[in-house]
Amino acid sequence: MIARQIADAVNQDRLLESIDTLATFGARDDGGVDRPALGERDIEARRFLIERARALGCGVHVDACANLFFRREGDAALAPVMTGSHIDTQPTGGKLDGCYGVLAGFEVLAAMNDANVRTRRPLEVAIWTNEEGTRFSPGAMGSSAFVEPSRMARYADVRDSEGMTLSAALDHHRSAFPGLPQRAQHEVAHAFVELHIEQGPQLEDADVPLAVVSGIQGVRWYALHVQGSAAHAGTTPMPLRRDAMTLAIALRQELDAIAHELGRADTRVTFGRWSIEPNSINTIPSAVSFTIDFRHPEASVLAAFDEHAHAIVQRHGARIEALFTHAPVAFDASVLSCIDGACRALDARALHLTSGAFHDAMYLATHCPSGMIFVPSIDGISHNPAEATDAGHLALGARVLAHCLTTLCND
C-alpha cells in the first residue's frame, strides 16, 4: 500500500528539527514565539520555508493575501489535494499552534520524495496569512480571502496598532519575494486536511492520541447596554436607585442560566468585557455595557439562544446588539472517513471531537471537501510559551496526515 509506505517514511527527528528551526524566527526568551503576520520575523520564516520547499522540488505560488502554496506535482492534470495551516503566532505564542500543521505538511512532501512516489494528483502545502488576527483583524484573513477573494476589498484598509494598512504590509511582502508566480485562482482543490494541536484538554483526559475533528462549533457575539441613573452613593435610599450594575448582573444571571439550559454540556458562554459609567467608587452606576460570547456545535441551539436573549433583554428594558455570528461547520463525511481509515490502518486510536476554536479549515470547508485532525496538547495549554505536545504524538499525527493525503492524492 502506497499510503502506508509514505506514512512509514515520515521521519520524527526531521519533523521535530523543523519545528525547532521555525521557532527560532521570533523566538522569545521564555521558549515561546512572537511572530506577527507579515512582520519581519514572519517574512524571514517564510523565506526559510520557501527555500526548504524548493529544495524538496516544489513549486512556490502566492495569492492576493500573501497565502503561500508549495506544490508537489502529480501525474495527472487534476485538482490538487491541500493541507497546511498558519505560521503567525499570538504575542505569547508557542511553537506548535499552526506551525505544526504546516511543518507536518512539509514532512509529508519529504516522505513522498524519500519513498520515491509520484501521486496522481498534486499535493499543495499552504501557509494561510494572519490566522491569529492579532496584527490585523479579523483572524483567518488569508483563508477567508482565498475562498472568497472579494473580501480583500474590505481587508485592504485594515490597520495594525502602528497604523500600517494590510495593503502596505502586502506590498512589503511582494517586495521581499519579487517574482513569485500567482496561484491559479480558479483552481478548486480536491480536498483540504488541516492537522493542528487540540489547544484543549479533551484528548489528554481521554488518553487518546488523535482526534478526527467532525466540525467547528458556531458562535454568536453580542453587546448588551443597560441604562440606569447616576446618583450619590451616600444619600440615595436603596428603593429609589436605578442602578445599572444591579440590572446588568440580573441579566447576566438569566442569560447564563438559559445558555446552560439550552446547550447543556456543550455550552460555552463568556461575559468577557465590561464597561461601567461613571466607574466611580461613590456614584451609582448610570450605564453598563457587557459582551456575550456564546458557542455551540448546533445551529438550532444558537438560534434558540438568540431568541431567548432578545426576549430577556427586552423584558428588562435593556438593549442588545449582535456583533458577530458564525454558523457551526460540519466537515465533509468522505474526508473524515479517509482520516478514520488512516487511523485504523496505522493502528492509532482516535476520538471524534468538535473543535472549540476557529481554524483556517472553517473557511476551506466552503471551498472543497475538508476535515481536520488534532493531536493532544499537554495540560490543554495553548497561546502560551509552555504549549507542548508529546513527540510521539506529533509524529503519529504527521503519519496519519501522510496516509490520508496520499489516499486522497490517488483518488
Which amino acid, one-letter code, is at 363? Y
The nearer residue to Zn ion, 286 or 382, going by C-beta atoms, is: 382
The nearer residue to Zn ion, 102 or 402, going by C-beta atoms, is: 102
Q: Sort 188 into a burial class: Cβ within 10 Å, 0-12 / 13-18 / 19+.
A: exposed
Between CA 395 and CA 403 the distance in angstroms is 12
> Are the C-beta atoms of residues 346 and 403 closer than 8 Å to each other?
yes
Three-state DSSP class for residue 86 = coil
Give the one residue of 98, 139, 209, 369 binding Zn ion; rule: CB under 5 A: 98
Using CB under 5 A, which of the segments 89-97, 144-152, 272-280, 329-337 binds Zn ion? 89-97
Q: Total residues contacting Zn ion (rule CB under 5 A)?
A: 2
The nearer residue to Zn ion, 183 or 196, going by C-beta atoms, is: 196
The nearer residue to Zn ion, 97 or 160, going by C-beta atoms, is: 97
94 belongs to the binding site for Zn ion (CB under 5 A): no
Q: Record the cell numbers describing residue 69, joined without a space.
A: 502554496
Report the DSSP pairing between strands 81-85 and 123-127.
parallel
Using CB under 5 A, which of the segments 97-105, 181-189, 221-229, 252-260 binds Zn ion? 97-105
Using CB under 5 A, which of the segments 37-45, 93-101, 302-310, 400-408 binds Zn ion? 93-101
Residue found by looking up cell 475538508 in the block: 370
Using CB under 5 A, which of the segments 1-9, 96-104, 121-129, 261-269 binds Zn ion? 96-104
The nearer residue to Zn ion, 100 or 222, going by C-beta atoms, is: 100
> Are the C-beta atoms of residues 82 and 26 closer than 8 Å to each other?
no
Please, what is the minimum distance in Å from the beta carbon of residue 212 to Zn ion?
Answer: 18
Please, what is the minimum distance in Å from the beta carbon of residue 64 to Zn ion?
Answer: 22
Using CB under 5 A, which of the segments 57-65, 91-99, 249-257, 375-383 binds Zn ion? 91-99
101 belongs to the binding site for Zn ion (CB under 5 A): no
Please, what is the minimum distance in Å from the beta carbon of residue 213 to Zn ion?
Answer: 13
**DSSP conformational letter for 183:** P
Please identify the residue of the shown chain whose CB is closest to the bound Zn ion.
98
CA distances from 22 to 95, 105, 224, 371 (A): 8, 14, 42, 25
97 belongs to the binding site for Zn ion (CB under 5 A): yes
Using CB under 5 A, which of the segments 90-98, 242-250, 289-297, 312-320 binds Zn ion? 90-98
Please, what is the minimum distance in Å from the beta carbon of residue 260 to Zn ion?
Answer: 28
Q: Shortest CA distance to 98 belongs to which of 88, 112, 108?
A: 88
Angle between helices 12-22 and 99-114 (to 10 degrees): 140
Please, what is the minimum distance in Å from the beta carbon of residue 131 to Zn ion?
Answer: 6
The nearer residue to Zn ion, 85 or 289, going by C-beta atoms, is: 85
- What's the number of CA atoms in the CB half-sphere (13 Å) around residue 47? 14
Q: Record the cell numbers describing residue 325, joined without a space.
A: 455570528
- Ranges of beta strands (E only) in 98-205 are 123-127, 191-197
- Positions that interact with Zn ion (CB under 5 A): 97-98
